[in-house]
Amino acid sequence: MKYLINEYQYYLKREKGLSQNTITAYLRDLEQYRTYLEKSYEITKIQKIERKHIETFLKSLHKKNLSSKSLSRKLTAIKGFHQFLLIENELDTNVAYDIESPKVEKTLPQVLSVQEVIKIIEAVKGTDPLSIRNQALLELIYGSGLRVSELLDLKIADIHLLEGYVRVLGKGNKEREVPLGDMSVQALRLYLTKSRNQLTMNSIDYLFLNQDGKRLSRQGFFKILRKIAKVAGIDRDVSPHTLRHSFATHLLEAGVDLRTLQELLGHEDIQTTQIYTHISQKHLKDVYLNTHPRAKEKNNV
């Protein structure tokens, strides 16, 4: 079974074109699934797996208070694996096919106000190489709404400052061109001319580097952003995806249509983009209630 999971990894990467983070999550779920089958039922051959085994695995996770979102992802991994086994003629049927996923409570992503984003960007001070790099990171991820993986996978050749766009390789290895704002262009030009060559003397292609001259990692950027947000006085938990959500929400509030936003974000399905209409409406209502003098009844009338 372990061999087949390894084969499935190759299939996810080459045939489905999933991101490495998604593949890693699915493989981790399948390894947990495999371990459970071996320990609980002594099953080592896929032909012996029945629907009831999958259902009891999910029930065991539910008892551990695993969230509906996590359970749903694990079931997706299992269903995909069994479908792969069916395609490869390893099995005659997909016993996981019609198992219903738990209902996932939809929660709106957190967004920052324009003023909060500006506070974060302006909290980066200094002319040292790392401060200049951090300024470019923030201007680009918020200015173009990139996913953190897209941001950190950028190569120098992907940046086109004169033409004002960046070439991005998104989910499913789909390429798109995203416009660069003036502030992003200025920050990137400063980083490329004054900072990056001080971080490394090696011929590394990745755009954003850490202090050791290597590709900046996701964990590294998370730490950088949280530290900057704290300096800016933002009490909420801020992640790179928070800036992407804020980018989308602010564009909608400025009048950008959904189709354009879908293209900018690299969403395959416009339904994914539509969540930002709900965020935008909620955000506008919150701003109104918190700022308009006649929005709330006064207690001391």
Contacts (Cβ under 8 Å, ≥6 apart) of 288: 295
CA Rg value for the chain: 23
Q: Answer for the pair 145, 199: CB distance below 8 angstroms, yes or no.
A: no
Q: How far apart are CA 124 and CA 134, in angstroms?
A: 7
Q: Hey, what are 270's tokens?
A: 């416009």
3-class SS of residue 178 = strand
Q: Which residues pair with 160 in a beta bridge?
A: 165
> Residue 3: exposed, middle, or buried by beta-carbon count in 10 A (0-12, 13-18, 19+)?
exposed
Nearest to 147 by CA among 97, 204, 221: 221
Indicate the Cα dihedral angle 64, 49, 1, 17, nearest 10°: -80
Q: How far apart are CA 24 and CA 7, in angstroms?
A: 14
Catalytic residues: 147, 171, 241, 244, 267, 276
Q: How far apart are CA 250 and CA 264, in angstroms?
A: 13
Our measurement of the distance from residue 85's CA atom to the centroid of its chain's CA atoms, rounded to an integer in Å, reads: 28
